[in-house]
Amino acid sequence: MNALTPTAPPLLPGTAPDGKTMTLGVMGGGQLGRMFVHAAQAMGYATAVLDPDPASPAGLVSHHHIQTGYTDAAGLAQLAACCAAITTEFENVPADALRTLATQRRVAPGAAAVAIAQDRALEKAHFVRCGVACAPYAVIDTAAALAQVGEDLLPGILKTARMGYDGKGQVRVQDRAALAAAWTALGHVPCVLEKMLSLALECSVIVARGTDGSMVNFPVQRNLHREGILAVTEVFEGNLPAALAAQAVAGARAVAQGLDYVGVLCVEFFVLSDGRLVVNEIAPRPHNSGHYTQNACDVSQFDLQVRTLAGLPLTQPRQHSPATMLNLLGDLWGLHGTDSVPDWAAVLALPGTHLHLYGKQQARPGRKMGHLNVTGATPDQLRATALRAAEILGIAAF
Ligand code: ATP
Ligand code: MG
The 10s digit of each residue's pLDDT in 24-62 is 999 999 999 999 999 999 999 999 999 999 999 999 999
Pick from 387, 325, 319, 377: nearest CA to 356: 325
Nearest to 85 by CA among 121, 59, 117, 48: 48
Residue 203 Cα to ligand 1 midpoint, Å, equals: 11
**Which H or E run contains 195?**
strand 191-195
**312-319: Cβ within 8 A, 24+ apart:** 312/10, 312/11, 313/210, 313/214, 314/208, 314/209, 314/210, 314/214, 314/215, 314/216, 315/216, 316/216, 316/217, 317/216, 317/217, 317/218, 317/293, 319/218, 319/219, 319/235, 319/236, 319/293
- Report CA(363)–ligand 1 centroid distance (Å): 24
Task: Select the more confidently predicted residue: 395 or 4.
Answer: 395
Cβ(91) – ligand 1 distance below 6 Å = no
Q: Is the pLDDT of residue 305 over 60?
A: yes
User: Residue 138 forms beta bridges with which residues?
Assistant: 193
User: What pLDDT, on a 0 to 100 scale, did the predictor assign at position 398?
Assistant: 97
- Supply the residue whose CA is at minimum distance from atom 9 of ligand 1: 167
Torsion of CA 128, 129, 130, 133, to 10 degrees: 10
CB of 80 closer than 8 Å to CB of 86? yes
pLDDT at 14 over 60: yes
What is residue 337's predicted lDDT score, i.e. its pLDDT?
74
Which atom, in ligand 1's list, is nearest to the CA of 135?
A: 27
Using the mean position of ligand 2's atoms as its centre, give its distance from the Cα of residue 365 in Å. 19
Kindly give the distance from the C-alpha atom of residue 267 to the centroid of ligand 2, in angstroms, as a whole number.
9
- pLDDT bin (cut points 50, 70, 90) of residue 2 is very low
**Sequence letter at residue 53:** D
Strand 64-66 to 191-195 pairing: unpaired
How buried is 347 (Cβ within 10 angstroms: 0-12 exposed, 13-18 middle, 19+ buried)? buried
Cβ pair 385, 239 in contact under 8 A: no
Average pLDDT, the chain: 95
- Give the pLDDT score at 167: 67
Does 225 sit in the ligand 1 pocket, CB within 6 Å?
Answer: yes
Give the pLDDT of residue 7: 66
* Structural contact between residues 68 and 44, judged by C-beta atoms closer than 8 angstroms: no
pLDDT at 193 over 60: yes
Q: Give pLDDT, residue 99.
A: 96
pLDDT above 90 coverage of the chain, percent: 92
Q: Which of 32, 163, 195, 280 to mutate to test the pocket of ligand 1 (most atoms within 8 A of CB)?
A: 280
Instruction: State the pLDDT at residue 222.
Output: 98
* Domains of the chain with bracketed CATH: 23-107 (3.40.50.20), 136-195 (3.30.1490.20), 199-393 (3.30.470.20)
Question: Using CA atoms, how far apart are residues 357 and 160, in angstroms rounded to an integer?
Answer: 31
DSSP, collapsed to helix, strand or coil, labels residue 135 as: coil
**Does residue 355 have a pLDDT over 80?**
yes
Are the C-beta atoms of 183 and 264 separated by less than 8 Å? no
The model carries a pTM of: 0.96
Quick one: average pLDDT of 363-369?
A: 95
Task: Say how far apart CA 352 and CA 354 lie, in whole Å.
Answer: 7
Phi-psi map region of 213: left, alpha, beta (phi>0 left; psi -120 to 50 alpha): left
> Looking at residue 1, what is its pLDDT?
41
Determine the average pLDDT of the residues in 197-201: 97
Poorest-pLDDT segment among 186-190, 288-292, 304-308: 186-190
